[in-house]
Chain A
Amino acid sequence: MSQKIKLYDATKCTGCRGCQLACKQWNSLPAGQTENHGSYQNPQTLNPSTWLLIRFDEIAAGDDGVKWLFRKDSCMHCSDAACVIACPSGALFHTSHGTVALDQKKCIGCKQCTIVCPFGVPQYDPGTEKVAKCDMCFSRLENNLEPACVKACPTGALQFGEAGEMREVIKDRLAALGGEGRLYGDQFVGGTHLLYILPADPRQYSGLPIRPQVPAALSTWKDILKPLALLAPGAVLAGTFFHYLTKGPKDVTEYGRKGDS
Chain B
Amino acid sequence: MLLIKKGMVKVSTTFERLVHWYLALSCLLLLVTGLGMMFHSFNFVSVPFGGLKNLKLVHNGSGLIFISALFLAVVTWWKDAASLDLPNDLEWLKKGGGYLWKVDHLPETGKYNPGQKIFFMVVVVVGLMMIGSGLLMWRPEGWSRDLINLMYALHALGVVLLLPFIVVHLYLGTVGVPGSAAIVLTGYTTKAWCLSQCPKWLRKKEKEGSLEYYTGNGD
Contacts and interface: CB of A to CB of B under 8 A. Distances in A.
A260 B190 contact: yes
Given A217-B152, A233-B163, A252 B177 contact: yes
Interface in A215-261: 215, 217-218, 220-221, 225-226, 228-230, 232-233, 235-237, 240, 243-244, 247, 249-257, 260-261
Q: Determine which residue in A115, A235, A257 has the highest number of CB atoms from chain B within 10 A of its CB, and name it.
A: A115
Contacts of B53: 108-109, 129
Given A249-B177, A250-B177, A252-B178, A225 B157 contact: yes
Contacts of B171: 240, 243-244
Contact of A233 (B166, B191, B192): B166
B107 interface: no
Q: Determine which residue in A90, A233, A252 has the highest number of CB atoms from chain B within 10 A of its CB, and name it.
A: A252
Interface residues of B, number: 48
Nearest to B160: A228
Interface in A73-94: 86, 88-90
Nearest to A218: B149
Interface residues of A, number: 44
Given A111-B140, A253-B192, A236 B168 contact: yes
Interface in A104-161: 106, 108-112, 114-116, 129
B196 A252 contact: yes
Contact of B168 (A90, A240, A249): A240
Nearest to A130: B53
Contact of B56 (A108, A114, A215): A108
A106 B53 CA distance: 8
B39 interface: yes
Interface of A: 86, 88-90, 106, 108-112, 114-116, 129, 215, 217-218, 220-221, 225-226, 228-230, 232-233, 235-237, 240, 243-244, 247, 249-257, 260-261
A118 B51 CA distance: 29
A252 B182 CA distance: 14
A236 B176 CA distance: 14
B2 to A, nearest CB: 10
Contacts of A257: 191-192, 195
A220 B153 contact: yes
Q: Determine which residue in A86, A89, A235, A243 has the highest number of CB atoms from chain B within 10 A of its CB, and name it.
A: A89
Contact of A221 (B153, B164, B179, B195): B153
A88 B43 CA distance: 8
B156 A225 contact: yes
Contacts of B160: 225, 228-229, 232
Interface string B97-130: 0111000000000000000000000000000000
Contacts of B99: 243, 247, 250
Interface in B21-75: 35, 37-40, 43, 51-53, 55-56
B193 interface: yes
A234 B100 CA distance: 19
A124 to B, nearest CB: 9
B149 A240 contact: no
A232 B197 contact: no
Contacts of A221: 152-153, 156
Q: Determine which residue in B156, B168, B197 has the highest number of CB atoms from chain A within 10 A of its CB, and name it.
A: B156
